Structure 1
Amino acid sequence: MTNRTLALLSPNRPWLHLVYLGFFFFGWLYTAPTPTQAALSLAAMALFIAAYVFTLRRGDWTVYLAALGAVTLSFALLPVNMGGAVYLVFAAAMLGWLPGTRLRNAGLGLLVLPLAIAVWQFALPLYAAIAVGLLGMLAAGGAMMGARRQSQDATAQERQVRAAANAAEAERQRIARDLHDLLGHTLSVVALKADLATRLFDADPDRARGELAEIQSISRQALAEVREAVTGLRERGLAAAADEACQRLRAAGLKVSTDLDAEGLPAAQATALAMVVREAATNILRHAEAGQASIALTRTDHGVELRIGDDGRGGARIGAGGLGGLAARLLALSGELIVQDGPGARGCVVIARLPTRGATDA
């Protein structure tokens, strides 16, 4: 069976309650109907089923009208068939499918009145009235439980859809952050080397060709990194990222000092810190106009602290771009990212802190 078929046949759905209509025909065991009565009764039943399905699919104020119609139909049939009292049961069931409100509860309470009228006006046997009352309470209670389960299922399904959407958005943001962190640095270096190769093309062709060869190598490496970022397989080593950043900074004419001990870091922390190194180096190349830069990793009693500083013009702040993405990445590891002015309000220092405890490779 398909999921749609199983859903329609679920006991939480109101359609299976239509089997109660079989009680209507018990009355014909006592008094056989005329052909006209039988035809009118069956036509009325068909119209009732249509109204029942239509109103319960809507689940709004039309259910009250349908319940009133069921009571009216019951009164119309009781003079010739006491089985017509079953429509009072359906009135209770229909009201039970509605959300719990004072109006719904009042409607269920008022159904005692037509049942009493059926006993008094149409001589419905007392045992039959008791049976109808009990069936009505059971039908209403079952409908309330079914409505509650439907609401719970809808809420659970909505949560699943929302969780899937959040997971997809998180993956999209991860890919966007990785691509920004990877390509921002790489393209900055490519642009610098392309400018350098252009200036050297006539004065020093051999060195210009060397710069172009490096551009080719960097481009191939960037392509591989993009593929890894999209598939989520890349784990970036901190030491390798720091070495690469130092080479690029020195190639741009900066003096770079390093003090890095990356041994023993969890993979998730090393990857996050490697991203910080690359983003900070990219910002230095793009914006700092610096002459010196430093990369240092220190260990404390509480965790590790990575500092990338320069003596440029400063002014960097955490926004919605690369630094903002890195701040979110570190926060997911219970860490923090700080961007502040360098000593003497000169240059900029990017500080990444991660705790020792609670660090995982997730």
Structure 2
Amino acid sequence: MVDMQQQTTKQSAPAVRTPRVFGAGARRAARAEQCRDGAGAGPIGTPGGFALLPWLLLGMGSISNVIKGETPDPWIGVVGLLAFNSLYVSLVFRAFDRRARESVATRWCLATLGLVTFALAAAYGGNWLLFFPLLGLATGAVLRGRPLGRVLFAVTATAAAVAGYHEGWDAVGVVYGTLVSGAVTAAILALSETVRELRDTRQELARAAVDQERLRFSRDLHDLLGHTLSVIVVKSEVARRIAPRDIDAALVQVRDIESVGRQALTEIREAVTGYREASLAAELDRARGALTAAGIESVVRQSGPPLPPQAAALLGWVVRECATNVIRHSGAATCEIEVRGSAERVRLVITDDGTGVASTLPGSGLTGLTERLAAAGGVLDSGPAPGRGFRVTAELPVEPADGGEESR
């Protein structure tokens, strides 16, 4: 039983592994892939060429006339029947392959079918007039757009002239059948193509959603692990330096490391499930503590009304990433973090007095933050500060907050 369960799990893994990791977008992609696997036959979709073959039964009356000897020069009728049926079958199957349908050979086949239909109907009349509705059906299956209207009008007019010559007013049914068969067939096949294109578009959107989920996930992990590991490294170094002379203080640093590690595990789980919202106030507190532990004097100023959750979350990521960069790269002695908000926009400025060299190198952190803020209508600017150091400036539009975030 265990082996059977393991085998089942291995067989189903490709369909469910990505959704489990990357959330709702991947689940939509998996469902789209399953729909695609069960999609209709042919490059365009259902119905297929076989669905148009039963209409050849309209020619049974002509075959009966040939068999009963009611057709003059029956050998001409037999050759005409073979030519008509061969051309019709070729056309209806070509109609479901876009490249074959739009080829010059298909156009010549349709023209030849029209000549054969005209010749047989004009020569024999009667049941042979029913080849005109079949010609209209083939025309609707092969042609699209403006050419369809012009050709179908010509076929219908020809059917009216030939059938009127043989049958008089009784030819109305043949004319009506020719027009309706072509128009309805074209409408059904155009709708089928549209459905297939919508299905392909849905699959493409699902794949794009998976890519967005992967990008979001990689950004979150980078921001989470980069900051957390930097704090752990700094506190570990502090504990190592002070342990020989003050074991109690070293144990305090070790407890902080344990707390940071536990918090990081919680945040990673929340990031994986897609529910984590960074808090600006919490990130400012963490940045102050991490900078102080690294021996960097921190100055935090915040003013303005409470921010809506989305803006606070985005600025929280900026604070986290920039504090990590200051600790790891800047060699700064001081770092200033200022948040100024108004009813329309909020501005975050982070400035350090370090060398500013390593921070200017392009990396996934600032690049990802720039993309995030741009998606929310904001901007992020980074570069050397006047005089010395490095400065990061982030601006966001402020939407009306429902209660907002608690002010500091």
Q: TM-score range by the shorter chain?
A: 0.7 to 0.9
Matched ranges for 1:94-243 at <5 A: 94-97=138-141, 98-100=143-145, 102=147, 107-108=151-152, 111=155, 115=159, 124-127=166-169, 130-196=172-238, 211-243=253-285
What is the CA deviation profile of residues 139-186 of structure 1, one whole-angstrom value per residue up to 9, with x for unaligned ones?
222233334434433443343233323322222222122111111111
Residue 96 (structure 2) pairs with residue 57 (structure 1)? yes
Q: Please point out which of 129, 137, 159 is paired with 1:85.
A: 129
The match for 1:328 is 371
CA RMSD of aligned residues (A): 4.0
Q: How big is the shift at 1:350?
A: 1.9
What is the CA deviation profile of residues 177-215 of structure 1, one whole-angstrom value per residue up to 9, with x for unaligned ones?
211111111122233344455566767666656545543
The match for 1:337 is 380
d(CA) in 2 for partners of 1:236, 1:113 = 71
TM-score by length of 1: 0.78
Q: How big is the shift at 1:253?
A: 0.7
Q: How big is the shift at 1:246?
A: 1.0
Residue 55 (structure 2) pairs with residue 24 (structure 1)? no
> Is the 2:305–2:341 contact (alpha carbons within 8 Å) kept by the matching residues of 1?
no
> Is the 1:238–1:262 contact (alpha carbons within 8 Å) kept by the matching residues of 2?
no
SS in 2 for 1:166: helix
Identity of aligned residues (%): 29
d(CA) in 2 for partners of 1:210, 1:49 = 87
> Is the 1:330–1:354 contact (alpha carbons within 8 Å) kept by the matching residues of 2?
yes
Q: Please point out which of 345, 350, 358 is paired with 2:392.
A: 350
d(CA) in 1 for partners of 2:158, 2:285 = 88
The match for 2:33 is none
d(CA) in 2 for partners of 1:185, 1:206 = 26
Q: How big is the shift at 1:273?
A: 1.3
Question: Which amino acid counterpart does residue 59 of structure 2 have in structure 1?
Answer: F
SS in 2 for 1:269: helix
d(CA) in 1 for partners of 2:94, 2:216 = 47
Q: How big is the shift at 1:351?
A: 2.1
Residue 312 (structure 2) pairs with residue 276 (structure 1)? no
Q: How big is the shift at 1:333?
A: 2.8
Question: Which amino acid counterpart does residue 144 of structure 2 have in structure 1?
Answer: P
Question: Which amino acid counterpart does residue 125 of structure 1 have in structure 2?
Answer: E
Q: How big is the shift at 1:359?
A: 6.2
TM-score by length of 2: 0.70
> Is the 1:335–1:355 contact (alpha carbons within 8 Å) kept by the matching residues of 2?
yes
> Is the 2:129–2:163 contact (alpha carbons within 8 Å) kept by the matching residues of 1?
no
SS in 1 for 2:67: coil
SS in 1 for 2:271: helix
> Is the 1:95–1:140 contact (alpha carbons within 8 Å) kept by the matching residues of 2?
yes
d(CA) in 1 for partners of 2:266, 2:81 = 73
> Is the 2:160–2:175 contact (alpha carbons within 8 Å) kept by the matching residues of 1?
no
Q: Please point out which of 251, 258, 277 is paired with 2:300.
A: 258
Where structure 1 has 5 or more consecutive residues not aligned to the other structure, the ranges are none
Number of residue pairs matched?
351
d(CA) in 2 for partners of 1:199, 1:128 = 107
